[in-house]
Amino acid sequence: MERKILAIFAHPDDESFGPSGTLAHYARNGVRVRLLTATRGEAGKNALSNTDEPLGKIRERELLKAAKILGLEKVDFMGYKDKTLQNLEPHPPIEKILHYIEMFKPQILITYGPTGISRHPDHITVHKWVTQVFRMSEYPKKLYYYTLPKELLLARHPDLVDGDGEITTVIDVSSYKNVKKSAILCHISQRYSIERIFDFAGGERPIPEKEYFVLADHKLDYRIDGIEDDLFCGIESGNKTPIGKLL
Ligand SMILES: [Zn+2]
């Protein structure tokens, strides 16, 4: 079985700030990993003062550079306008994602949980689209929400008591800290966000050793008992041997 992961996010940098250690880990272990990004992030702040180039162009290039570092097979853009996703009629983007999935046939989908981590309306909208698409297509077997440990999420947003749900899956990305950092630093037009979130200079908020996920939905005869350490747990290979640990 050819293992495939599709990550779907709203903006260039969401993949690098988010589950980039996990994406790099799987890409380096023979999994075909693709990224579908809804916008080019053109409505963000631009930390580069010495250019007239449109921000969307800059951010597209930054994302492609980060994707190369992470080992992603392909990046595709849905082409929607930044900061407008919640105003769109959901049917066309859902159809677009569905079509993409039917072509690529990934076993694993990754997106945000209901909090969107930052509560950005674009993130929450993509979360809703992908959650709906998962149920419409037979191909993806597991749907993961990338999230943070609840105390971190609540520290940022104290009213988010339910967070993104209980963490089911923890991926050790300690070997990918440099890769993650390099991918994050590709998004140099977003330097203010990088400094706010990661503090590379001060070292108080270092790159995390682990990345956290909620298995939000699946189509397997499968029950989690404990914490998964592999997104492919419970998905059978061609010879019917489960990949990873079936808990
Ligand atoms: Zn974003």
Share of the chain above pLDDT 90, in %: 78
CATH code for the part of the protein at 4-218: 3.40.50.10320
The domain ranges of the chain are: 4-218
Separation of 117 CA from ligand 1 center, angstroms? 9
Separation of 124 CA from ligand 1 center, angstroms? 10
Separation of 123 CA from ligand 1 center, angstroms? 6
- The answer on pLDDT for 134 being more than 90 is yes
Q: Residue 237: left if φ>0, alpha if ψ -120 to 50, beta else—which one? A: beta
Share of the chain above pLDDT 70, in %: 95
Separation of 197 CA from ligand 1 center, angstroms? 13
pLDDT of residue 238: 42
Instruction: Please name the amino acid found at residue 221.
Output: D
Give the burial class of 176: count Cβ atoms within 10 A of its Cβ; 0-12 exposed, 13-18 middle, 19 or more buried: buried
The DSSP 8-state label assigned to residue 242 in this structure reads B
Residues 183-211, mean pLDDT to the nearest whole number = 89
Separation of 71 CA from ligand 1 center, angstroms? 20
pLDDT of residue 236: 66
